Structure 1
Amino acid sequence: MARPRTVRAPTSASLPNNLRIPSTSPSLSKTLGKLSRQSLLDLALTWLDDQNSASFVPFLKGDERGSRDDDDDEALPYPAAETVEEVRQIYEDLQERKGGKREVLERILEGDWRHGLTLRQLAMVDLRYMDDHPSSLRWTALELSRIDPRRKESASKNGSEDWSANLPRIQAASFVKALQQEVASLVKAHYHLARSSTLPLTFLRIFVVDSPYQPPQQSPEIFADSARIIYVAFPDSCPFIYTSVAASTGAKPAAPPSTSIATDSRSLQRLVRDAIPKALSRPHERYTLKATALAAKNLPTLLALRGPGRSTAANGSFSIFADAALEGSPLDPRPADTVSAEDHILGGQRRPLGTEDKENGDPENSASQKVCKRPSSRRDTDTVPLTPDSKKRRLAVESRFGTAGSSLNPAPLDRLDVRFLDALDSGLEDEEEQPSSTHPVVSLSFTGSDVIGGIRQLAELGVVDPHRMPSWLTGEEAVSMATVKSGQRVKMS
């Protein structure tokens, strides 16, 4: 009698949290190996906490999942403990004494979790690595905007739009369930929500298996493939979200023949981006995601430039007031409470000629009137003579950059991509005959630890003219991608 054929049907269920990855998987050891010794110990103690021990049960003596005899178990390098409290005490002892990371790593994979780690544990490992290395991923800022033509008309008339009216109320469990329903017809995924321990952010980690069907017996390496992971960060009380797709490290495992979509980073990111506003939407209350032309590796940079504390109108020259570098306000009618730009450059305040020199009785300090300390926004505290030209140039730099590119600004951009759309002069007199195209004629990329800071230093040295610099080069528009035509930045759809 012929064996009946197995019928595989799609299922909307997500991958379970307790799906285990064998501890012998090389990719699992590599993922855990990225963490420091202290981070591994902190994670192990978190798994063994009273509130989590039921979800992350270690391998204990007499466990039904083990088939070894007691004599064989005693011969192992890490014999199984009898209770969770005993395992917890082992890691507390490891935390109190010095040692290597390899010792803790082998204890986890070959001892207490020899039966494997779950998908939820693996997600916690990745998020702990992000907390330890906040610049490990490149994030893109997107604006969450409500689709309402009437609100758009009123906002355009008033010239502003209320952010609080655009923010939907997000309940974590309901949002994840709605997001799962949006992507369940295309892929199977595992979702993990966690709160950042250092930033006002909530992270959502999404691991995707590129098939809506119940997956067959697959290689365990696929569950540690970083190219299948998408991260979404929700900052507190602002209409922006940050998305990132982890870059794959190493060879990708072979995909099963039933693959329905490609698992390249662009496809996964597009899939999640399209599903997020739909999951947040409700009847008669629809949302969409709009690009903000800002991408950075530093999450504090995104929080400073696309976060709850400010908007793009508080950058550039006005950043000296937004960052509290100066007292007062440019709109304050009382000049006594406002520090001028010249006073700020000379050190923040003026003093009568020779006042402190006479009080201290030190005639040598009279020469300090000609040598001024660099302002607090500078990166160093060396003293340099201020010539009339350098003083004038520094005033111009302060008026254009504000605190952007200085030590007072906590938002350094590591990359700035510029595309120029101006066509080359073809000698045609009629402008209508000029070829029009959205393809850039010239593309420039500035990279470094602080791009705006480097451009600021060039302006201070007189290499570039700060008066003629466009606003997107001084940090005023707070963008990392600029498309320029006729000297002005244009917004590309």
Structure 2
Amino acid sequence: MAPRAQLSIPSTESLPHAFRLPANNREVVRTMNKLARKTLIDLALFWLRKKNRQFAPAYLYSDHDPDFDEVDAPYDPAHDYEELHDIYKEFATRKGGKRDVVDRILEGDWRSGVSLFQLATAEIQHLVDHSNALRWNAKRIAKIESTKPRPQNIEVTNTSEHLPRFHGQTFLLNLRREVSPLLKAHYYLGRVDGWPITILRVYVHDSPYATEASLKTAPEARGTSDSSKAVFFVFPDGSPYVYVSLSTHFGQTVGPEARQLRDILLQAVPKALSRPSNRYELQNTNLSARDLNTLLKFRGPGRTNAAAGGWSIFAENSFSQSALDYAIAQRLKGKDTEQSKSKSQTDTGKENTTPPPKPTASRGRPKRKISVSEAPSPAAKRQKEVAEGRFGVSGTVDDGLAMERFEVRIDDPFPGSEGDAVGQAASAAGSDGSGANIQNAQVSKRTRKGRQSLLDKSLEDIDATDPDGSSIQNSESWVPDVRVAFQGAHVFAGIRELVEQGVVDGEKMPGWMTGEAGVSVGAVKEGRVRTKGGVPGV
């Protein structure tokens, strides 16, 4: 009697580490080909450790079945894990390309399938080696204030500043409880060596069945769907921010189904961090970047979060003493002045006694003398000093603050649309004693007034707007739709170079062009990027 087929029943369980994907899966092959040879060897040795063997089972000689396995297999199976360990140790000692290592992994030692644990560790290692592989968005963890009155007999201090205590296992249990009824996923939470972050990878599997067979028969395993995608969450140590991956790796497309699944995860993360009487939400900070180092600088645990642009000299401790100690600064300044005077006098006394240098014969090509015309002019020196004062130690290629795109919207009223027109009309009325010019100026001012779209307005502007669309606070001013976008490998390094070359006036340049706002998208009013609650971009 033939055995009965097993039934797949929908459940709320998550996908375990040991579930395997086919070795020819599109995502598995793409991930392995992106890694370097040394990284592949280190990962294979990591999978072969005793504590990881149950999550990354290799294909050994004991699993070989001559009746069902291929006769002309490219690699013979190893007899035990120690033999596999020696094989990959030998790979590390000899030279070669990564193709032989990839083929050995997919067609030899793990030909029966690559587990979800192996795929997760491989993708995280790729992020460590290439910190700009994904695009990230910084979210702020903010506490939701309760509308219920607090008891008077309980003393609570600084409740608005309290952040949730992050515990990995508890957070994963809460996240599974929120997400499992809606979708199936695999979770991998771990630390990254050398970085002050905890990274969470969620492999979304759009299926009601939490079985290994569903992974092999899913449409995405055959390359016909994009519903299974990995979403990354980075939790920096001692920082009230979370970094969320906005895009997948280069070459992958994200459809509407994958976006909906990511929205579900994004809504579940603050719920998993919450507890009774302490509810949290994720607020947008208007900062998105491709490099993780940039996010750690602007929204990380260090001291550089609010010290970009010219203020970076204080965060980097570029002074030999405290910048606030005025007495020490004046005393050191006086000593420097005396030393410079004594040195100049000594040089003057030795000017006539020093014999001229003797000409020496040099082999090879003589050095080219710098002419007076090639020397930097005083204007060029002045421009570099202005750029150094405005940008500080930031705005360089190797400052770790690379931002690929920076876009702002100018919300200031058009110059002369309100005050200048009324002032000119008033002066004209005072000269001839009639009020006709005032009426004409007011009519021309009303004809120039435009209507701003609600899609481009902030929440404060929408609250201060009449139902007919006219603004209450500043109804007589016209605000043109002016947007400025900078794009490049390092936007602020490029702006600093333009200041040094004299293309941009560094003295009249607004502060948000130096990157001191710490946002990638913002609205500028009265020369500053709008903030809410003292946090830039929120």
Distance in 2 of aligned mates of 1:363 and 1:320: 44
For 1:68, the aligned partner's letter is: P
Which of 68, 78, 83 aligns to 2:80? It is: 83
For 2:202, the aligned partner's letter is: I
User: Which residue does 1:191 correspond to in 2?
Assistant: 187
Q: Is the Cα contact below 8 Å between 2:410 and 2:483 reproduced in 1?
A: yes
What does 1:72-471 correspond to in 2, within 5 Å?
76-148=73-145, 165-212=161-208, 214=210, 216=214, 217-219=217-219, 220-221=221-222, 228-247=229-248, 262-265=256-259, 267-310=260-303, 312-336=305-329, 352-353=343-344, 385=376, 387=378, 389-406=379-396, 409-421=399-411, 429-430=445-446, 434-439=450-455, 441-471=481-511
Larger of the two Rg values belongs to structure:
2
Q: Per-residue deviation at 1:176?
A: 1.1
Q: Aligned-pair RMSD on alpha carbons?
A: 3.8
**How far does the alpha carbon of each residue in 1:223-274 deviate from its partner, in whole angstroms, 9 at most, with x for none?**
9959721110011111111110343655779x9xxxxxx4244x34432221
Distance in 1 of aligned mates of 2:238 and 2:354: 55
Distance in 2 of aligned mates of 1:71 and 1:276: 44
Distance in 2 of aligned mates of 1:444 and 1:393: 23
Distance in 1 of aligned mates of 2:516 and 2:287: 13
Distance in 2 of aligned mates of 1:364 and 1:264: 78
Distance in 2 of aligned mates of 1:47 and 1:483: 49
Distance in 2 of aligned mates of 1:232 and 1:363: 70
Distance in 1 of aligned mates of 2:162 and 2:454: 32
Higher mean alpha-carbon deviation, 191-200 vs 126-135, is at 191-200
Higher mean alpha-carbon deviation, 237-246 vs 83-92, is at 237-246
Report the 3-state secondary structure (helix = DSSP H, G, I; strand = E; otherwise coil) of the residue aligned with 1:277.
helix
Distance in 2 of aligned mates of 1:250 and 1:212: 28
**C-alpha distance 72-280 of structure 1, shift in aligned 2 (>3 A):** closer
Residue correspondences, number: 442
Distance in 1 of aligned mates of 2:74 and 2:341: 71
What is the TM-score of this pair, normalised by structure 1? Answer: 0.78
For 1:19, the aligned partner's letter is: F
Distance in 2 of aligned mates of 1:338 and 1:87: 68
Higher mean alpha-carbon deviation, 313-322 vs 131-140, is at 313-322
What is the TM-score of this pair, normalised by structure 2? Answer: 0.72
Q: Is the Cα contact below 8 Å between 2:188 and 2:200 reproduced in 1?
A: yes
What does 1:16-95 correspond to in 2, within 5 Å?
16-63=16-63, 66-68=64-66, 76-95=73-92
Higher mean alpha-carbon deviation, 47-56 vs 275-284, is at 47-56
Q: Which runs of 5+ in 1 are unaligned?
A: 1-5, 151-160, 256-261, 344-348, 366-382
Instruction: List structure 1 segments (4+ residues) > 6 angstroms apart after TM superposition.
Output: 6-9, 161-164, 337-340, 356-365, 423-427
Q: Per-residue deviation at 1:134?
A: 0.9
Q: Per-residue deviation at 1:165?
A: 4.3
**C-alpha distance 56-142 of structure 1, shift in aligned 2 (>3 A):** same
**C-alpha distance 290-14 of structure 1, shift in aligned 2 (>3 A):** same
**How far does the alpha carbon of each residue in 1:94-119 deviate from its partner, in whole angstroms, 9 at most, with x for none?**
11111221111111111111101011
Q: Is the Cα contact below 8 Å between 1:238 and 1:308 reproduced in 2?
A: yes
Q: Is the Cα contact below 8 Å between 2:18 and 2:117 reproduced in 1?
A: yes
Distance in 2 of aligned mates of 1:104 and 1:224: 29
**C-alpha distance 433-386 of structure 1, shift in aligned 2 (>3 A):** closer
